[in-house]
Amino acid sequence: MTDPAATPSKNITSVVVVTGLSGAGKSTAVNALEDLGYFCVDSVPTPVLPGTLAAFAAAGVHRVAFGIDVRVRTFLDDAAAVLEQLESPGERELTVLFLDASDEALLRRFSSTRRPHPLTTSSEAGGEQGALAVLDGIRIERELLTALRARASIVLDTTRMSVHDLRREVLANFGPSAGGTPRLKVRLLSFGFKFGPPVDGDVVLDVRFLDNPYFVPALSKLPGTNPAVRDHVLGSEGTSEFLDLSGKLLEFCLPRFEREGKSYLTVGIGCTGGRHRSVVITEQLAERLRKRTGLPIDVIHRDVDRATIAGKGGDPDGVNST
């Protein structure tokens, strides 16, 4: 399987620099970018950024994210100048994401985690002295990051954001809806409940209530991919309404799964043996979703042949299956 981080977008390397105030959510943002397929490196000294990017380019990695904060200390002095060197029209696109928050919010977060600010001027861990030390650290940090904030492409104020809110903001700016990553890959899988539901099924639909072609002698031995079986299932009572309702459900859910950063989704459609009804419904839903969502839809019929073998002399797709 191809590493998504090594897949170029329009042959231009996407470089995201995540920076900002300590406690404003940098780790959450970096993790979200990693989930989107970015090769992430945190706390990078700015002088090594050009060489690191050259190494990534030589390895074919075209989606890179760097975390930069005050832990790189004196390297911050030249940070803005180094970032200017990274942008190269036609070769690299640089986005600087700056995370900010109010002093009160940052103080509250440091207090809840009981971690010292990286620039605290006091060794006191708690109480009034500890709070003053954190506030002193925040003030100094704001001054040190002034140049980076001025260079920012996107500034997010996380004062009122939860970690989930911040993740959604990162996905909105760098995810599929922003054209920054490959689209959500959807797999529609027909299966037979007698062989067990798919272990990786994110959504499972049960179509055993539809009329069963197994009890039609001319159709019982034919798979759901056969036109005669397809016409029988589609002409049965309830099929059209089910396709409409389940299609609308998936059309509603798929874009939202994509916005949440999900890369793969498996929708299982099951009947008793996985030979007739589930196969027909899977094919129909895949055709509809391709047209209406534009997403890549793969179709797999897991048990269409297995049901025939297992059901030899028995009932491959009926109520008498064992």
Higher pLDDT among residues 294 and 120, named by residue: 294
Ranked by mean pLDDT, the top range of 58-72, 75-89, 265-279, 304-318 is 265-279
- Place 313 in a pLDDT band, splitting at 50, 70 and 90: very low
Tell me the per-residue pLDDT of 196-242, one tens digit each, with 9 for 90 and over.
999 889 999 999 999 999 999 999 999 999 999 999 999 999 999 99
In the prediction, which pLDDT does 187 show? 93
Mean pLDDT of 47-52: 88
Ranked by mean pLDDT, the top range of 210-214, 256-260, 262-266, 309-313 is 210-214
Domain definitions of the chain by residue range: 4-178, 185-310
- Place 261 in a pLDDT band, splitting at 50, 70 and 90: low
Mean predicted lDDT score pLDDT of the chain: 83
Q: Judge whether 60 and 82 are in contact, CB under 8 Å.
A: no
Q: How far apart are CA 187 and CA 266, in angstroms?
A: 5
Query: Considering only the top CATH level, what class is 4-178?
Result: alpha beta
- Place 119 in a pLDDT band, splitting at 50, 70 and 90: low
Mean pLDDT of 284-291: 95
Higher pLDDT among residues 81 and 263, named by residue: 81
Non-local CB neighbours of 234 within 8 Å, separated by 6+ positions: 240, 280, 284
Three-state secondary structure of the chain: CCCHHHCCECCEEEEEEEEECCCCCHHHHHHHHHHCCCEEEECCCHHHHHHHHHHHHHCCCCEEEEECCHHHHHHHHHHHHHHHHHCECCCEEEEEEEEECCHHHHHHHHHHHCCCCCCCCCCCCCHHHHHHHHHHHHHHHHHHCHHHHHHCCEEEECCCCCHHHHHHHHHHHHCHHHCCCCCCEEEEEEEEHHHCCCCCCCEEEECCCCCCHHHCCCCCCCCCCCHHHHHHHHCCCCHHHHHHHHHHHHHHHHHHHHHCCCCEEEEEEEECCCCCHHHHHHHHHHHHHHHHHCCCEEEEECCCCHHHHHCCCCCCCCCCCC
- Place 125 in a pLDDT band, splitting at 50, 70 and 90: very low
In the prediction, which pLDDT does 115 show? 66
In the prediction, which pLDDT does 247 show? 96
Structure tokens at 303: 């048990």
Decide if pLDDT at 9 tops 90. Answer: no
